Chains A and B, each alone.
Chain A
Amino acid sequence: MGSEAVIEVKGLDVMRSGMLVIQNANFEIDRGDYVGVVGPNGGGKTTLLLAMLGMIPRHRGMVRIFGQELERFSDWGKIAYVSQDAINFDSDFPLSVRELVSLGRLSPRNVGRPLRRADWSRVDGALEFMGISELAGKRIGELSGGQKQRMFVAMALVRDPEVIILDEPVAGIDAVTQEKFYQKMSDLNQKKGITILMVSHDLTAVFCRMSKLICVNREVNVAEITPETDPNEILRKAYGEHFHFVFHRHECKGEFKND
């Protein structure tokens, strides 16, 4: 695993509606990391992601992406972000799954030019990788929640990103579909070397599958996840002293990434 920092956050404060939502965040995401972002609802997880991506203003602090200060960074093709609200689109919007995923191939380099055969091959490849090839011609409004999430990840994948950031991608999805989704993300991380940052409330999945943990509840605490990591020690910093997470490593079925 390389140690090149793809995202660096230093002394980051973020205010929203006059309230300090993120206080003095300091962490690095390295190339190849599989990072879980956890914390209570309203703790600032989404705010942290949005500020990191420059989608909301920072009050103080510095963010670097691929070594460049956020304000100067322009190579957004390297980063794909799937927001929490992505699946809440207008279900009557007239797009097939294949058409929507193809929009992921758009970039400043091909504005005003039609997509090429190679672009469509990437689209079909991404649909296949996410296991939704049979849905290619289906309208996006007819998909289930899990299928929509896989579609948006496919849309992110066709951009050939080096980093994928997902905000609660499995919220409201049944356990079996969640498990398949996590498996796909593990494959992306391990087989394709894509750095993944994922907001999740599924602490078991985070401790079984991921390599790093970012705990957010205004304060931001970061820990490497290894078989020796005591989940409660880090989680209590975000969820409070009385929080107790019952975690059995054997439930991971050998999924520890850092084993």
Chain B
Amino acid sequence: MISPEFSIIDLLGYQFFQYALIGGSLAAFACGWIGLFLVLRRESMLVDGVAHTAFGGIALGIFLGIDPILSALAVSVLAVLGIGYMRGRGLAQSDSATAVMLALGFSTGLIVISLAGGFSVDLFAYLFGSILTISQQDLVLVSALGVVVLAFLTLFYKEILAITFDAESAKMMGLPVRTISLIFNLIVAVTIILSIRVIGIILVVALIVLPALAALQLRLSFRRTVVSTVLIGMMSTILGVLVSAYYNVATSGVIVFTMVAVYLVVAVYVRLG
């Protein structure tokens, strides 16, 4: 717990805390919206696969002395393209292709770490998140990636929705299903990368999947489900940051616990109500 002379109000006055709340909310917004589509497409594990692949990219970035977020972005994009290629060419089913990329990316990270002669402390911040150390530069990058994600979803959400509901019919309607699906998967990679500083590689899947799962319990229309998903994600993240700061425990863990609690409360409320 923080010392009694500090309150949450005091913390809100600190720039690092403001950055944490802004960065966390942005990531939660993007993750929630994209996560709803992933859950409906039954592709939640794509997140885990790409996130673990990003680990290799981050290790490479630290090793080569370039921004780890950018190297992780490059490797994740390659992973998404690789998964798409393997699926498209019939080399592997979706889950198997994801597993291959997950293993390949993580192995790359391990090899690079061993070449570097040990486990870098920096890597922990990416594995488990380090929202309270978000810099202004991180915030600019997260915001820029967030704008890309939100612009894509705002422009193409109805096409993605049609493809998610019935890809064959969408194809028959003349929609560019392959192109939109490819861009969607690239956007998933971008979303994961922008969330790594907030919650870390290991738990990013929670930020993407849990708000959607909670909102889907409410059995609303699509528009209202999107709004509920985003609100649940953002409120859980803000609450998680505040609670973790108050009790001085790992922020990413508290954010996940908050989301699981919201999911359980909503599930019980809907079933009893």
Contacts and interface: CB of A to CB of B under 8 A. Distances in A.
B222 A94 contact: yes
A86 B168 CA distance: 11
By size class, the interface of chain A is: 20 to 34
Contacts, number: 74
Interface of B: 40, 155-156, 158-159, 161-162, 165-166, 168-170, 172-176, 180, 215-216, 219-223, 225
B219 A139 contact: yes
Interface of A: 53, 55, 74, 76-77, 81, 83, 86, 89-90, 92-96, 99-100, 102-104, 106-108, 111-115, 137, 139, 159
B172 A55 contact: yes
B116 to A, nearest CB: 44
Contacts of A111: 156, 159, 175-176, 180
Nearest to B218: A94
Given A94-B225, A104-B173, 15 more contacts: A90-B40, A92-B219, A93-B40, A94-B220, A94-B221, A96-B221, A99-B223, A100-B165, A103-B165, A106-B170, A106-B175, A107-B174, A108-B174, A111-B175, A139-B220
A55 B165 CA distance: 18
Contacts of A77: 173-174
B173 A107 contact: yes
A99 B221 contact: yes
Contact of B216 (A53, A76, A94, A102): A94
B8 to A, nearest CB: 34
A103 B176 contact: no
B222 A95 contact: yes
Nearest to A97: B221
A238 to B, nearest CB: 27
Contacts of B155: 112-113
B214 to A, nearest CB: 12
Contact of B172 (A53, A114, A139): A53
A99 B222 contact: yes
A96 B216 contact: no
Contacts of A102: 158
A168 B222 CA distance: 28
Contacts of B170: 106
The 8 closest A-B pairs by CB, nearest first: A96-B221, A94-B225, A108-B174, A112-B155, A76-B174, A103-B162, A95-B222, A94-B222
